[in-house]
Amino acid sequence: MLKRLVVLSECHHDILPVATAEKLLGRSTVSSFMSQYPAVPRSDGFLGTGSRDAARRRRAVSKRKIETARAYMKSISFIPWLLFACVTGSVCHGNASEDDDIDVFLVVQDRRVWLTRLLEQIAFRLRGVRRR
């Protein structure tokens, strides 16, 4: 049962200090969680999805992928009815691995979705980008 929503500003990407978790959720809740899920990694007083080094590597990979996405976005910036483009998913949260793709969210004017999709696919394929 969720007692309180923990927002990104209260976490450090994919690690959460045990002391912070206990403060936010209560010591008994955290102890109960840790006993139910012994596979959740914990080290140096942190709960998370891996080591701090792994988190740093994932942030570095995400930063690289964001730069790649910026370059690709330039190839579709010619579309006049493209209103907004952003990177979403694990990349935007700084939690991407080398195998993760770059998720992009596009906002276009009414009645331009499929034409935009076609132009985006042509532009990306000309750059050698394709879906896996």
CA nearest neighbour of 96 among 63, 129, 131: 63
Say whether pTM exceeds 0.75: no
Burial (CB < 10 A; 0-12, 13-18, 19+), residue 87, is buried
pLDDT in tens, 9-23: 344 444 455 566 666
pLDDT of residue 38: 64
pLDDT in tens, 36-85: 666 666 665 556 655 667 778 888 999 999 889 888 888 888 898 988 88
- DSSP designation for 7: P
Q: Which two tokens stand for residue 50?
A: 């891996």
β-partners of residue 87 are: 104
Q: Which residue in 93, 75, 96 sits closest to 85, CA to CA? A: 75
Q: Where are the alpha helices (DSSP H) in 26-112?
A: 27-36, 52-74, 89-92
- Integer Cα distance of 82 and 93 in angstroms: 24
Cα(15)–Cα(44) distance, integer angstroms: 11
Three-class DSSP category at 17: strand
Residue 106 has pLDDT above 70, yes or no: yes
Cα angle 107, 117, 73; round to 5: 65
